Amino acid sequence: MSMCVLVIDDSKTVRLTIETTLTEAGYAAIAAANGSEGVRLWQEARPDLVITDIMMPERDGIETIMEIRRSCAQAKILAMTGFCHTGSVDFAEMLRRLGADDVLIKPFGPEVLLAKVDRLISLDPVALTAA
């Protein structure tokens, strides 16, 4: 059975690109256009990994991460953002503190995406919560 990845991004192009990359690598992929739809799909499908954009309408990625984390501490979450540093704030580190297991900085190539997905999927959920 294929590992299932939920992709949440308001950009149709980004969603389709990630879905195609994941599918070609042997993963099953489902997608949502915003955080509200993403949380609903996560509750229904309980995918092995969630990849979520941060800046989205309706429910942003931070709210989405926190909602999923509240329901399941062991959920594996990969955040995507175009921001890395804003002044003295390390945005990637902030996302980790808010519940993301790892962060993808946009733009990224398929090899970077798959390396992070493969690593997170292979990790024991207990190891993630201890890290």
> Which residues neighbour 31 within 8 Å (Cβ) at sequence distance 6 or greater?
6, 7, 8, 9, 15, 16, 18, 19
Max Cα–Cα distance, the chain, nearest Å: 44
For residue 87 the two structure tokens come to: 């002044």
Set out the domains of the chain in order of their start, with CATH numbers: 4-124 (3.40.50.2300)
**Angle between helix 61-71 and 35-45 (nearest 10):** 20
Give the pLDDT score at 84. Answer: 62
pLDDT classification of 125: cutoffs 50, 70, 90: low
The overall average pLDDT reported for the chain is: 89
Query: pLDDT tens-digit profile of 41-78?
Result: 999 999 999 999 999 988 899 999 999 999 999 999 99
Query: pLDDT tens-digit profile of 70-94?
Result: 999 999 999 998 866 555 567 788 8
Q: pTM, whole model, 2 decimals? A: 0.90
Give the pLDDT score at 130. Answer: 47
